[in-house]
Amino acid sequence: GAVVSQHPSRVICKSGTSVKIECRSLDFQATTMFWYRQFPKQSLMLMATSNEGSKATYEQGVEKDKFLINHASLTLSTLTVTSAHPEDSSFYICSARAPDFRGLLEGGYTFGSGTRLTVV
Amino acid sequence: GENVEQHPSTLSVQEGDSAVIKCTYSDSASNYFPWYKQELGKRPQLIIDIRSNVGEKKDQRIAVTLNKTAKHFSLHITETQPEDSAVYFCAASIRSGATNKLIFGTGTLLAVQP
**Closest CA in chain B for residue A49:** B101
Q: Is the dihedral of CA B32, B38, B41, B43 positive or negative?
A: negative
**Spatial distance between the Cα atoms of B54 and A76, rounded to a whole number of angstroms:** 34
Q: What is the pLDDT of residues A94-108, one digit of tens each?
A: 999 876 666 655 667
Among candidates A12, A22, A16, which has minimal Cα distance to A96?
A22
**Spatial distance between the Cα atoms of A68 and A78, rounded to a whole number of angstroms:** 8
> Looking at residue B95, what is its pLDDT?
85
> Looking at residue A9, what is its pLDDT?
97
> Looking at residue A105, what is its pLDDT?
59
Q: Is pLDDT at B2 greater than 80 in this prediction? A: no
Cα radius of gyration rounded to whole Å, chain A: 14
Q: What is the pLDDT of residues A2-32, one digit of tens each?
A: 889 999 999 999 999 999 999 999 988 888 8
Give strand pairing partners of A79: A21, A69
Contacts with B49 (C-beta within 8 Å, 6 or more apart), sequence order: A108, B32, B33, B34, B35, B57, B64
Give the residue-averaged pLDDT of B44-49: 94
Contacts with B98 (C-beta within 8 Å, 6 or more apart), sequence order: none
Tell me if B89 sits within 8 A of A43, measured CB to CB: yes
Q: Is pLDDT at A79 greater than 90 in this prediction? A: yes
Give the residue-averaged pLDDT of A37-63: 93
Q: Which CA distances in Å does A93 have to A13, A53, A77, A102, B81?
A: 18, 21, 12, 26, 28
Q: Which CA distances in Å does A86 have to A12, A42, B68?
A: 10, 17, 42
Phi and psi at residue A42, to the nearest 5°: -125, 175
Q: What is the pLDDT of residues B56-77, one digit of tens each?
A: 999 999 999 999 999 999 999 9
Whether the CB of A66 is below 8 Å from some CB of chain B: the reply is: no
Whether the CB of A39 is below 8 Å from some CB of chain B: the reply is: no
- Mean pLDDT, chain B, whole residue set: 94
The three state secondary structure string of chain A is: CCCEEEECCEEEECCCCCEEEEEEECCCCCCEEEEEEECCCCCCEEEEEEECCCCCEECCCCCCCCEEEEEEECCEEEEEECCCCHHHCEEEEEEEEEECCCCCCEEEEEECCCEEEEEC
Whether the CB of B94 is below 8 Å from some CB of chain A: the reply is: no
> Looking at residue B53, what is its pLDDT?
86
> Looking at residue A20, what is its pLDDT?
98
Helix, coil or strand: residue B20: strand
Give the residue-averaged pLDDT of B14-31: 95
Q: Which of B101, B103, B110 to mutate to test the interface with A (most CBs of A within 10 A)?
A: B101
Give the residue-averaged pLDDT of A70-92: 95
What is the nearest CA distance from B83 to chain A, expressed in angstroms?
A: 19
> Looking at residue A107, what is its pLDDT?
67
Tell me if B1 sits within 8 A of B92, measured CB to CB: no
Give the residue-averaged pLDDT of B29-55: 92
Tell me if A81 sits within 8 A of A89, measured CB to CB: no
